Amino acid sequence: MNPQEPARARPGPAFTLTFDGREIAAVPGQTVAAALWAAGATSWRTTRRAGRPRGVFCGIGVCFDCLVTVNGSPNQRACLVPARPGDVVRTQEGTGHED
C-alpha cells in the first residue's frame, strides 16, 4: 500500500442521535464530539460559575471542556464516547447534577 494514496475507507450506514431535542446524523466510528461538530455544534457545556460555553478543546480526553450528558449520565467526555444509534445527548449545565 502506498501511503500517499487514499485509504478508500467506507464507513457503515449513517444513523441518528438526538442533541438537545434535534436529530443529527452520525456514522460508525465517530465520537459524540465528532458527530456534534459535523452537525455544526461547537458548544455543548457551560462552565459552573460564569455559564460560559465550552466544546472540544484538546479532542483526546485530557481536558474536560467537552463534557455532555449522554443517555442521562452527566460528565461524559464527548471526545471519548462513541456515538451510538439513538443516543440522547444534552448540553451539560455546570456540574451536570441538580445542585
pLDDT tier, 77 (very low <50, low <70, confident <90, very high otherwise): very high
Please state, rounded to an integer, the average pLDDT across all residues of the chain.
89
Domain ranges of the chain: 15-93
Position 13 scores a pLDDT of 93
How far lies 51's CA from each of 5, 72, 94, 99, in Å? 45, 21, 7, 14
d(C-alpha 74, C-alpha 6), whole Å: 38
User: Helix or strand or coil: residue 65?
Assistant: coil
d(C-alpha 79, C-alpha 60), whole Å: 6
Span 15-93 CATH architecture:
Roll (3.10)
Q: Which three cell numbers stand for residue 67?
A: 463534557
Mean pLDDT over 59-66 rounds to 87
Mean pLDDT over 12-26 rounds to 96
